[in-house]
Chain A
Amino acid sequence: MKEGFRQAMAWLHTWAGLIFGWLLFAIFLTGTLSYFKNEISQWTQPELVPHQVTEVDSVNRAQRWLQENAGDAKRWFITLPDERSPALGLSWAKARGGFERKSLDALSGTPVQARESMGGEFFYRFHFQLQMPYPWGRWLASLSAMVMFVALVSGIITHKKIFKEFFTFRPRKGQRTWLDGHNAVAVLVLPFHLMITYSSLVIFMTMIMPVSILTTYGGNTQAFFDDLFPAFKTAPASTETAPLAPIAPMFEVAAEKWPGSRIGLITVNNPGKANASVTLTPSGADHIPNISGTTLMFDGVSGALKDESTMSAASLMLAGGLYGLHMGHFAGPLLRWLYFLAGIGGTAMIGTGLVIWLGKRKLKHAKAGVLPFELRLVEMLNVASMSGLMLAVVSFFWANRLLPVSFAGRSDWEVRTFFCMWGLALLHAFVRVFFREGRSAWREQLTLAASLYCALPVLDLLTAGDYLFASLKQGQMTLAALDVTALITGIFLAWGAMRFGEGGKVAFVSKLTPTDSRRKSDSGVSANSGSEPARESVRADATAQEAN
């Protein structure tokens, strides 16, 4: 019965992982990039230069511009520049419905003159909306998250000796190496995997598990959100007009109430009306949990503090804490890189899992030399979802530098380039896998991707070198760091492409196959990792894993 239980878990792990693996790979990869959302946006809009500006100056400039250009709006939102995003972010709900955004230069207070680009926002949006219409993308992403959760836990159960095996890594042993790598990376960042998966469900819980709101609040779901975020209640604008009080003095009150915390978001309700109000929210960069319910509310005409609310209930801190951990707004540079590396670990875990699934089944057909249709289909999707996505990502950056700066709709064309490249990669994978063999698809796509990543810094130098040097002179490392990261990625992909080269048949050949003994003598690498008993137990465990 016990073995039956673990076998059932192995079966579930295998199939849940396969069917959602391709989508999860894309979600994890683009989500990982999103940890550097603002930095990517800086790279894609190098015209934006960070300035040393005080909060007071920034908010005065924002208020002046909005009063002149969006005086009749229902509501304004202002975010101040910080160390990760140089521009003043403005958005407002228009009187006749609809929503508009604008970035202001923090120094001049005029709209930024930068090339149009979604930048990091594109990867961020894609990782939970999947370029699908609302709410379908979010639902599909949430379903994938639930499947990820199931795959994680069933994987842990399948794999009971995870900690012992963690120290067992046998390189250059084909299938076994992939399995060791899969296990090692899974265990190494297991807390991250569990946190990121569960928190993604919590982030969208009001969209995917809303029944309890309905049973508690009836049809009036807005009342639930008003309870949580009392400061964001919308009141109809009064017909009387009154000038808006200056926002900057309110910051002094906030500095007293929240020592050591900056202001994240400024919300102005009914600006220019007699019932105007201003709400300040602390910056997410200074707190781990998301506490958007903690606010100070000011009268918009007199400028006096009217009300304050604090989000401190345990249940709200639990949900807000998970939310905050997922987003990582609080992370400084070091922790942000750790987040990024953990994200790569998650992506690699999914990728190796997909490779193992196919590798195991390929073994059965090794003698015949012909793969059945369904295995070719899986191989095609593996190639397109992994190396194809890497190609799509880098082509987005290439498009950003190659499309003319003033080209109309260039932002859309960047996105279009991303998906066209991905589509072409799928087509290429199809042709290669079905009419030649999968290895050539991997090799060619990885080679192209490697050269595009390696050449990205060169392209950046040629097309936007002035910005790069200017930013370095200012001591800003963001642009250079992205170039270096692209170069390292390119080198890694080149190494991957070489492993798929004509000579070395390393990737999918198992130790258990007859071809292996030949390969072993070729490479001259002996099993030298892991103690003998550990390896024995691994073997027994691996057999259980293979039993599906």
Chain B
Amino acid sequence: MTPSLLTFQEVRFGYNRTEAPVFDGLDLSLKEGRITAILGPNGAGKTTLLYLVLGWLKPWAGKICLLDIPIENYSRRALGQHISLIPQSEHTPFEYTVLEYVLLGRAPYLPPLGAPSQDDEKIAYEALVKMGIGDLYDHSILTLSGGERQMVLAARALAQEPKLLLLDEPTSHLDLSNKVRLVHILRKLKNSGTTILMSTHEPELALALSDDTILMEKGRVLTSGRTAEMVTEENLSKIYHIPVKTVFADGKKFIAWM
């Protein structure tokens, strides 16, 4: 019913032409205003898939369309206004303040030789507040903890005001309370109309957050659909190669692996 924001048609992609491709004829479609999780073990090709969506990697064959227009037809600027990425981690040796760093997310809205205005600063500050770290705005990013840094990266992606937000293993540096905070923030974002695509190797996160789930294993999309139907004992045991059980408590599904 809801229109597709992003579609993959027969996408073929590999890193090395002499080897078998990572994706061979991949079809996907992301619905607007939903949260989709790419779930699979390490090395399944989740990040590769995100980079294809971002346009950073180019498919050998097939079509990737955003709002029915092939992504290669977008200018760099226009694509930056539509899609933003929260990388898994990022390192810089320079002492930026948190706000200066988040302001970098305004780049696709600025003229090629421009610098952020006070309005941009306001948007960046609001992004920090949304991530619950408004009071850190003037700290040096080098003094932040791993979790805080992840929140700064998220704020930078929000400052980009994307239609489609990509997250690469968003919870890998987060403790439990930060994880819960992120889940709440992402839900709120979804309610305000942002489409979210995230990679994760944690089935718990997919269950807690995503409407749809794409199950991946060794560069193959095993199956995809509603999260409740995808995250099952059978599917999880299959992709992780260990026996996984699901249990119900408080009317919610939980994963048991020990």
Do A and B belong to a common assembly? no
Chain B residues near A (Cβ < 8 Å): none
